[in-house]
Amino acid sequence: MKRFFLVPMALALIAGCNTADKDKYTRELKIRTIPSGAPIVVDSLRMGKTPLSINVETNEDGCFVRKTVITAIPHEASLQTQVVTFPAYKPSDSGKSVVPEMVRFDLTKSPSDPTAVYIGDDDE
């Protein structure tokens, strides 16, 4: 008799433990490089070679929920590594954490050149 009572109770507990309680939002981010074909690493994970599109987790306003680092790795000796970091969302400074439509790395330029990384709308 005790087993009969415990089974429905256990099922009720499992059904109540829903991992989808929090709404999850994502946004597509296009990543391009000049020249194309560069490996891309996002937060230490290899994502593939450019051109590529990835989905990133956002809050409901389209902002990064955690600090996100995107690295373009040169695939030729004459090219430069490029890195861009997006901060996690903060209500006091949400503009810096908005997920852009596209990030384009120019691996032919020095990382100190302000035009080496374009962040904005897809221009293609």
Yes or no: say if 85 and 120 are a contact pair by the CB < 8 Å rule: no
pLDDT at site 43: 96
Residues of the chain predicted below pLDDT 50: 1, 3-7, 9-21
pLDDT at site 102: 97
pLDDT at site 12: 46
pLDDT at site 93: 82
The CA radius of gyration of the chain, in Å to the nearest whole number, is 21
In tens, the pLDDT along 17-26 reads 444 445 689 9
pLDDT at site 123: 66
The residue type found at 109 is K
pLDDT at site 23: 65
Domain 21-120, CATH number (from 2.60.40, 3.50.70, 1.10.3470, 1.10.287) = 2.60.40
Q: Map out the domains of the chain as residue ranges.
A: 21-120
Pairing of strands 25-34, 52-58: antiparallel
pLDDT at site 124: 57
